[in-house]
């Protein structure tokens, strides 16, 4: 029994000594790893390994050892498949939008030959988005510092704003006077507010455009009708169904806005869908005047 205890004690002391050696050699080991080669010393009696400090050598009762951190590089693998012959072949490739949604690549080539790539969030036939202009405040008592246009996704899928823009149109000339590129995504039943100081002429208008395809997504002509708005070189009507009556207008006397009521209502008839309300609610559901 005494011999067994002595053996256990000797083993424990040896392990403790190895741990102390390894701990003291930590800095030296890290330096050796940085060089991709480890130089060590093995004690001839105990078999303990020691990593000496850089530039130091093994002691008389130690045997020098050396090994590589990494093995030799293996043979080169086979060549991968050839890339696309043109950038247009990347159209439809999977990507991730800035907002983190899964999407596909849309390749755009400008007239000057500049190619750009847009990652558009995927849409699904059974859950399409439905973006609409939902509220606009273009005229306020006194100065006009806090105008806005609110978008609403009345559909069931996530709406990608990449490639879309708000276009403000001067009804007197039919010309666009401001274009605001949009970005990000709008979840179903959610709002997106764009700060903008739209004109309060008679008439004026705002359009939600897909600048990639040239598609007019939604529009509102207020304080009169705009049947021929020139946007991006093409002509569009900003009137949906029955024009909004000129008497239904934002006011510089009463705080209010033009809003779809009920919220998100879109029957393609402006006179039915829009009204003036004193309940200004950017980023929130619309309500009629209290």
Placement of tokens 């102390």 in the chain: 20
- Give start and end residues of each alpha helix (H) in the chain: 2-24, 26-34, 270-273
* For residue 44, pLDDT beyond 70: yes
The residue-averaged pLDDT of 24-44 equals 68
Q: How far apart are CA 39 and CA 29, in angstroms?
A: 9
* pLDDT band with cut points at 50, 70 and 90 for residue 4: very low
> What would the pLDDT profile of 64-78 be if each residue is shown by its tens digit?
998 887 777 789 889
Q: Give me the chain's average pLDDT, please.
A: 82
* For residue 187, pLDDT beyond 70: yes
The residue-averaged pLDDT of 126-130 equals 72
Which residues, 6+ apart, have CB-to-CB distance to 89 below 8 Å?
Answer: none
Which residues, 6+ apart, have CB-to-CB distance to 197 below 8 Å?
Answer: 138, 144, 145, 147
The correct answer on CATH 2.60.40 for the domain covering 131-277 is yes
Give residue limits of the domains in the chain. Answer: 2-68, 87-121, 131-277
* For residue 200, pLDDT beyond 70: yes
pLDDT at 122: 64
* For residue 127, pLDDT beyond 90: no
* For residue 163, pLDDT beyond 50: yes
> What would the pLDDT profile of 236-275 be if each residue is shown by its tens digit?
999 999 999 988 998 888 889 999 998 888 999 999 999 9
- Mapped onto helix, strand or coil, the DSSP state of residue 196 is coil
With CA atoms as reference, report the closest residue to 257 among 270, 276, 271.
276
> What would the pLDDT profile of 140-154 be if each residue is shown by its tens digit?
777 656 799 999 998
């Amino acid at each position: 029994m005494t011999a067994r205890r002595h053996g256990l004690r000797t083993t424990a002391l040896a392990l403790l000594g190895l741990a102390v050696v390894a701990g003291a050699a930590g800095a030296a080991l890290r330096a050796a790893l940085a060089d991709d080669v480890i130089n060590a010393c093995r004690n001839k009696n105990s078999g303990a390994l020691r990593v000496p400090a850089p530039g130091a050598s093994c002691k008389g009762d130690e045997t020098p050892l050396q090994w590589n951190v990494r093995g030799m590089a293996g043979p080169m693998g086979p060549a991968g498949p050839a890339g696309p012959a043109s950038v247009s072949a990347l159209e439809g490739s999977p990507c991730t939008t800035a907002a983190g949604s899964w999407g596909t690549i849309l390749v755009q080539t400008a007239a000057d030959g500049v190619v750009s790539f847009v990652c558009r969030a995927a849409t699904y036939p059974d859950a399409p988005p439905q973006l609409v202009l939902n509220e606009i405040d273009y005229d306020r008592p006194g100065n006009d510092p806090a105008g806005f246009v609110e978008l609403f996704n009345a559909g069931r899928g996530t709406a990608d704003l990449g490639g879309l823009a708000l276009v403000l149109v001067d009804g007197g000339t039919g010309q666009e006077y401001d274009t605001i590129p949009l970005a990000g995504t709008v979840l179903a039943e959610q709002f997106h507010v764009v700060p903008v100081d739209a004109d309060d002429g008679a008439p004026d208008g705002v359009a939600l455009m897909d600048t990639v395809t040239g598609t007019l997504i939604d529009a509102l002509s207020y304080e009169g009708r705009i049947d021929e708005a020139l946007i991006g070189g093409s002509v569009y009507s900003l009137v949906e169904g029955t024009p909004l009556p000129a008497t239904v207008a934002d006011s510089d006397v009463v705080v209010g806005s033009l809003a779809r009521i009920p919220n998100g209502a879109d029957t393609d008839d402006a006179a039915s869908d829009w009204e003036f309300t004193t309940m200004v609610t950017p980023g929130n559901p619309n309500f009629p005047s209290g």
